[in-house]
Amino acid sequence: MNSLLRQGLRLGCCLPAVQQQIHTTAVHRTFWEREKKSGYKTKLPEPSKKQMIMDGLRDLKEEMKLWRQEVKEQFESDPILVFRPGETDVVFDFKAPDVLDKWTVTTDADHGEGKSTATLELSAAGAGLFHGEVNSNHTKDGIIKRTGYANIRTKRVRKSFKRESTYDWTQYNMLIMKVRGDGRSYLINLHTEGYFDLMWNDIYHYVLYTRGGPHWQIAKIPFSKFFLSSKGRVQDRQGAIPLNRVTHFGFSVAAKKGMDGPFGLEIDYVGLEYDPSHREEFAYEMYQTPKYIVAT
């Protein structure tokens, strides 16, 4: 017994001391993202509990009305009767009441990165007018290299009682817009929220080319033409839009290649259509990337 004890003591002297499990440095997480806005934090003043209760009671009647409408649509809906080929179903109509409350306008100036300005208002023709000025002069902080953008997008679609939801556009294959532009190119953005945090910033884009001048134009864009990007980077691994998980729709304009100055895009409506003659599922090459590699 004494020899075993002496041997154990000798082994114990050779073992390293147990370190305390207290981390004094920041933990670097490779994949997990803290919030869905990826660093863009906008702190808004929080209302008092009394104000929150008063607001909740005031909205209760409207939320109950929305809930009854949802139940009614669930019993009445039939995919065969929802759409007809060749007919446009308007999703965002700027002639609807309180339509401007459903959109959000942002620029680089909102995040302290640049000096662009933008506004969304109703035009003399009764359409939505997205206009302002994009400026590529950025904040000289040694971090920001390029800026100069303005953006509008719809607010998150919600069911009754503020439940987050998504648009389901799986029955359509075309995006239809009646617009009147200034000759600039605008980027159409379709936001989709995936199941994992790596997909929180997935956006599908396509370019809207405007003619300029006084005439309206009808843009008919297949969903198969949209390409995938994340945080502004076009992804190597592409795929078709998950049309049952669309969360936001919007437009962007940038001051790229010396295109600083005023801009203006007038939008009458944005709709959807099913074109039976369009059978393309996806327009781009499906690159085979190595396993477990999401993007490069």
Is this prediction's pTM over 0.75? yes
In the chain, where the domains are located: 46-77, 88-274
pLDDT digits (tens, 9 = 90+) for 108-138: 998 888 899 999 999 998 999 999 999 998 8
- CATH C-level class of 88-274: mainly beta
pLDDT digits (tens, 9 = 90+) for 4-19: 444 444 444 444 444 4
pLDDT digits (tens, 9 = 90+) for 28-64: 555 555 666 666 666 667 888 888 888 888 888 888 8
What is the full DSSP assignment across the chain?
-HHHHHHHHHHHHHSPPPPP----S----SS--SSTTTT-----PPPPHHHHHHHHHHHHHHHHHHHHHHHHHHHH--HHHH--TT--EEEEETTSTTGGGGEEEEEGGGGTS---EEEEEE-TTSSEEEEEEE------SSS-----EEEEEEPPPB-GGG-B--B--TT--EEEEEEE--S-EEEEEEEE--SSGGGTTEEEEEEEE---SS--EEEEEEGGG-EEEETTEE-SS-----TT-EEEEEEEEE--TT--EEEEEEEEEEEEE--TT---S--S----PPTT----
pLDDT digits (tens, 9 = 90+) for 240-262: 999 999 999 999 999 987 789 99
Residue, of 289 and 130, whose pLDDT is higher: 130
* Lowest mean per-residue pLDDT among 58-62, 174-178, 224-228: 58-62
Mean pLDDT of 61-76: 81
